[in-house]
């Protein structure tokens, strides 16, 4: 699904505010155009780029790119994929709309264009929003307003950038969804994040299954009580009791508190113990 409610939208962002004397659409030599270092999309799939180049060879560039003047040349604001495909197709020039734009405008237009065309993976999207904030001094609230999103959704997206690099790669590759990434971002331990991410991929977990596993608390390991060495007096007492009662005797505990257990193996031993007690009462 495409992102909902992108604020003013791409058409508004790219609307021409200049006087209408001349058309802003020009045919510009490809050699005079430079890519935008603020382009949110970092990875361009070779196969799909080749498909677009084949389409351009057959039908030409159907949608112009957006550029802005920069030091006697032109900097791409939106449409780098079309520019790359045009070069691949062997074109010498490309139709372009020339727009005067500041840094914020260039980054915003590039970001919104990619969002509307579903070209960004969650990591690229988060990195683009972070760059927009850092380089243009914008807050999460102001970015949310510009993109027509809620501030919490922007905050959740930015949390992806705190994940371990390995997990971010899995998200960028599509092995994990943005929902998986947001769930993993809520796990405190980095090693646990990687472990859960790997299991989610291997076992095909849904986001809900990952949430349940991430919220499960591990039982603390049971500590075994170390056996206590009985006081040396216990052996002497046990030996004396065995001689007195003619029964097995076990003494446990400490000198302050403990337990004495007398065991009999037959009725004769029990009778003898009873006689001893009767004799003590006399």
Which residue spans within 9-157 are E strands per DSSP? 25-29, 33-34, 65-70, 73-78, 93-98
Give me the half-sphere count of Cα atoms (radius 13 Å) on the Cβ side of residue 192.
Answer: 14
Burial label for 273, CB within 10 Å (0-12, 13-18, 19+), is middle
- Tokens for 244, please give them: 């007195």
Whole-angstrom distance between the N-terminal and C-terminal Cα of the chain? 97
- Tokens for 93, please give them: 């020039």
141-142-145 Cα angle (round to 5): 90
Bridge-based pairing state of the strands 258-263 and 65-70: unpaired
Catalytic residue among 27, 80, 108, 203: 80
- Tokens for 132, please give them: 């927009």
85 vs 53: CA distance, rounded Å:
5
94 vs 121: CA distance, rounded Å:
27
110 vs 129: CA distance, rounded Å:
11
**Which residues, in sequence order, are bridge partners of residue 93?**
29
Active site residue 80: yes
201 vs 197: CA distance, rounded Å:
6
Catalytic residues: 80
């Amino acid at each position: 699904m495409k992102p909902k409610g992108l604020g003013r939208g791409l058409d508004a962002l790219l609307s021409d505010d200049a006087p209408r004397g001349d058309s802003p659409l020009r045919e510009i030599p490809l050699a005079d155009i430079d890519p935008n270092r603020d382009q949110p999309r970092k990875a361009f799939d070779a196969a799909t780029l080749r498909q677009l180049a084949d389409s351009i060879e057959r039908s030409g560039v159907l949608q112009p790119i957006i550029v802005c003047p920069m030091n006697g040349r032109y900097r791409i604001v939106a449409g780098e994929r079309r520019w790359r495909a045009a070069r691949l197709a062997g074109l010498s020039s490309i139709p372009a709309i020339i727009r005067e734009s500041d840094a914020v405008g260039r980054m915003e237009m590039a970001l919104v264009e990619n969002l509307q065309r579903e070209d960004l993976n969650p990591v690229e999207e988060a990195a683009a929003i972070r760059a927009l904030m850092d380089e243009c001094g914008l807050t999460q609230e102001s970015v949310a307003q510009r993109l027509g999103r809620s501030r919490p959704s922007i905050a959740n997206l930015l949390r992806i950038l705190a994940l371990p690099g390995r997990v971010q790669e899995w998200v960028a590759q599509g092995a994990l969804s943005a929902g998986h990434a947001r769930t993993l971002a809520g796990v405190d331990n980095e090693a646990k994040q990687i472990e859960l991410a790997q299991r989610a991929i291997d076992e095909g977990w849904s986001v809900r299954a990952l949430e349940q596993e991430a919220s499960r608390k591990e039982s603390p390991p049971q500590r075994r009580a170390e056996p206590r060495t009985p006081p040396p007096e216990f052996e002497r007492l046990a030996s004396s009791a065995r001689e007195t009662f003619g029964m097995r005797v076990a003494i446990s505990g400490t000198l302050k508190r403990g337990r004495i257990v007398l065991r009999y193996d037959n009725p004769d031993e029990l009778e003898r113990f009873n006689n001893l007690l009767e004799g003590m009462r006399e």
